[in-house]
């Protein structure tokens, strides 16, 4: 869907300055009644009705967010791919204006994926309206998305020109949304992670199987949420990053390994890494990566998926 196609579908003028919600809703009702499957027996009534609804949703979103749309300036249709649409909109913005700087900043902060496209749109919206209206918008957003938006706004509040009072008000909104939620912290061992162990959690007679290699999961509990955070117990020289890669920091004196052929690095009783000494460089610090032999990677689409493994990364320091 694009601006021109949506306007044609609803018989609305292409002039964006004349686009308003009253006219948009009026045209939507007229077209929806015309093509409603219960009232229209034509073969293409269903597809026409769906197209009318999609056009209305598109223009309503456009009118709310006021995002420049390159389709207005180009007389051709293109893919509906959201990433391509973003690129076109971005390229059409005045590069000397605030909108261009904001789009550029958001594109650098947020990686491209479906969820970040949503965050991108919401942040762009609230950055272009007054703080009072922005707070009204944030009140209506799902709390999990709101928390992620808050993290970005707090970290980059100077770039967005938001006041400290505005950030505090968002914190109050979040506090109100999560007041009935429960947070449970689990402390799995590194062995639990390598063995893909599950933890059986019971709350209010509801049972949940928690995959311990995840960092944080949210479960519904009769209207409120249960936040489960997994903070593994690790040796001081081992850490796990947000991609579940395992980082191991080790130090050796050169004389200790000079006559060795293999260095054994133990993670658990059943998991160890062997480093071939003659492949090491004679430098103070080096990094050795063992790919795809770590713990299970996090799959947000299927939390129990253990098909892909993370990397084990050795940070080796040599000294005399």
Asked if residue 229 lies in contact with residue 215, where contact means CB atoms within 8 angstroms, the answer is yes
Q: Residue 90's pLDDT is what? A: 44
Q: Residue 94's pLDDT is what? A: 45
pLDDT in tens, 1-40: 777 888 888 888 877 666 777 778 788 878 877 877 666 7
pLDDT in tens, 154-209: 887 777 777 889 899 999 998 888 887 888 999 999 999 999 999 999 888 888 99
Looking at domain 238-319, which CATH architecture does it have?
A: Sandwich (2.60)
Q: Residue 231's pLDDT is what? A: 93
Q: Could you say which of 3.40.50.300, 1.10.1740.10, 1.10.287.110, 3.30.390.30 is the CATH number of the domain covering 3-91?
A: 1.10.287.110
Q: Residue 309's pLDDT is what? A: 97
Percent of the chain with pLDDT over 90: 37
**320 residues of the chain, pLDDT tens digit each:** 777 888 888 888 877 666 777 778 788 878 877 877 666 777 777 778 778 888 887 787 665 433 333 233 233 333 344 445 444 444 444 444 444 444 555 555 555 444 566 676 777 777 767 788 888 888 888 787 888 888 888 887 777 777 889 899 999 998 888 887 888 999 999 999 999 999 999 888 888 999 999 999 988 877 678 889 999 999 999 999 999 999 999 999 999 998 899 999 999 989 999 999 999 999 999 999 999 999 999 998 899 999 999 999 999 999 98
């Amino acid at each position: 869907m694009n601006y021109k196609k949506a306007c044609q579908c609803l018989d609305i003028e292409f002039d964006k300055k004349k686009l308003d919600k009253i006219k948009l809703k009026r045209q939507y009702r007229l077209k929806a009644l015309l093509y409603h499957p219960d009232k229209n027996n034509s073969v293409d009534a269903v597809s026409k009705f769906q197209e009318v609804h999609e056009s209305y949703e598109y223009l309503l979103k456009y009118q709310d967010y006021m995002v420049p749309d390159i389709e207005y300036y180009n007389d051709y249709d293109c893919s509906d791919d959201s990433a391509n649409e973003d690129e076109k909109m971005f390229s059409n913005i005045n590069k000397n204006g605030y909108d261009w700087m904001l789009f550029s900043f958001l594109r650098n902060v947020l990686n491209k994926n479906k969820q970040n496209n949503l965050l991108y749109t919401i942040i762009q919206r609230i950055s272009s309206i007054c703080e009072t209206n922005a707070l009204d918008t944030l009140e209506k957003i799902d709390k999990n998305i709101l928390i992620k938006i808050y993290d970005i706004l707090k970290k980059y509040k100077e770039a967005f020109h938001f006041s400290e009072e505005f950030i505090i008000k968002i914190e109050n909104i979040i506090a109100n949304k999560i007041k009935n939620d429960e947070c449970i912290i689990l402390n799995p061992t590194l062995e639990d992670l390598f063995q893909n162990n599950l933890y059986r959690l019971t709350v209010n007679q509801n049972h949940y199987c928690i995959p311990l290699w995840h960092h944080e999961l949210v479960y519904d509990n009769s209207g409120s949420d249960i936040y489960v955070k997994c903070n593994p117990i690790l040796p001081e020289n081992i850490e796990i990053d947000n991609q579940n890669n395992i980082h191991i920091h080790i130090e050796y004196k050169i004389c200790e390994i000079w006559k060795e052929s293999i260095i054994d690095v133990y993670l658990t009783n059943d998991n160890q890494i062997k480093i071939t000494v003659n492949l090491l460089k004679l430098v103070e610090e080096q990094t050795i990566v063992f790919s795809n032999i770590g713990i299970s990677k996090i799959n947000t689409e299927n939390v129990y998926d253990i098909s892909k493994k993370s990397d084990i990364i050795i940070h080796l320091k040599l000294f005399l």
